[in-house]
Amino acid sequence: MRPGISIVVPLYEAEDRVVALHSELSATRATLPPFELLLVDDGSRDATWPRIVELAAADPAVVGVRLARNVGQTGALCAGFTLARGEVVVLMDDDLDTGPAELTRFVDAVRAGAEFASGRRMGTRSPVRHLGSRLYNARLRRWGLPFHDAGCGTNALTRDLATRIAAEGWGVRQHRFKPRVAQLTDRIVEVPFQVRPTSGSHHNVRTLAASWLDVELTFGSLTPGRWMLAAVVAPLVAAATLGRRALRTRRRRGPSAVGAAVLTGGGLAALDLLLLRQRADRRDAQRPPFEVAQVVGGADAGS
């Protein structure tokens, strides 16, 4: 029998979380439509996959998907999309910042006519993460995108839209995901929910900044040439000017020298981010977004 919904969870180095995730979802099974749980192991090197195999052997609702290599969260989601059989596909992170009982609201939103139900986290978060999220989402809304929390991993969508997204390949990499969704459909609603406290972010400052730049260059009005001029060339030229002034006045620790050091660091960091994006694009163009190495469990996993 085809499940009513498919819950797709990308997992990486999650041996200490996957059993708790399954337990919580199982405890709320009565409140959800019949579901299949696709646990996608994104090339983990720890015991994540053996844990998934054990869960799939014990619970026929679990489908374990093992990827041949690590491709990132969005690539793992797309792998799950290709195997999902439910009419509604629900996405959630493995850190359980979303209580499983909240998922019914996402399913109801899609069944009411939305193609994509986007989570909006409410509650206390660390000031740094909250500020970065607000700035990023404010930028997206200036482009007309309907998201107040584009980084939220809890979402739901129709199986048809999930299939179209999976066909995009690396075009939906990382933070490109929701902006690309908004290009594929205008039937988007936001579902606010109370977030649980989590241990921390999966991203560091460098990867978040690179992702922000990637979205700016892909969906915004910024072009690589203009960005290079504004973020790399101008700071380095200003740094050289201040550096010469510091050398002329022999005040190597004065304001001019400090300003030159700061601008040089900023220009080089910006160049690093741009090169990081270009390397990722070249690498991704040479390989498929994901490669499924093994599927276990589920009614049709072996067929």
Tens digit of each residue's pLDDT (9 = 90 or more) over 61-77:
999 999 999 998 999 99
Phi then psi dihedrals of residue 71, to 5 deg: -125, 0
Nearest to 184 by CA among 158, 216, 150: 158
Rounded to whole angstroms, how far apart are CA atoms 222 and 84? 36
Q: Do 118 and 137 meet the contact criterion of CB atoms below 8 Å apart?
A: no
Per-residue confidence (pLDDT) for residue 301, from 0 to 100: 46
Report the chain's terminal Cα–Cα distance, integer Å. Answer: 14
Q: What is the pLDDT of residues 246-284, one digit of tens each?
A: 777 765 567 777 777 877 887 787 777 777 777 777 777
Query: Which tokens go with 267?
Result: 């220009």
Amino acid making up residue 287? R
Task: Give, as one character, the DSSP assignment of residue 300.
Answer: T
* Overall average pLDDT of the 175-179 stretch: 87
Sign, CA torsion 130/131/136/142:
positive
Residues 6+ apart with CB under 8 A from 84: 6, 8, 36, 38, 159, 162
Helix, strand or coil, per DSSP, at residue 73? helix
At 203, the pLDDT band (50, 70, 90 cuts) reads low
Better pLDDT: 237 or 186: 186
Answer whether residue 302 shows pLDDT above 50. no
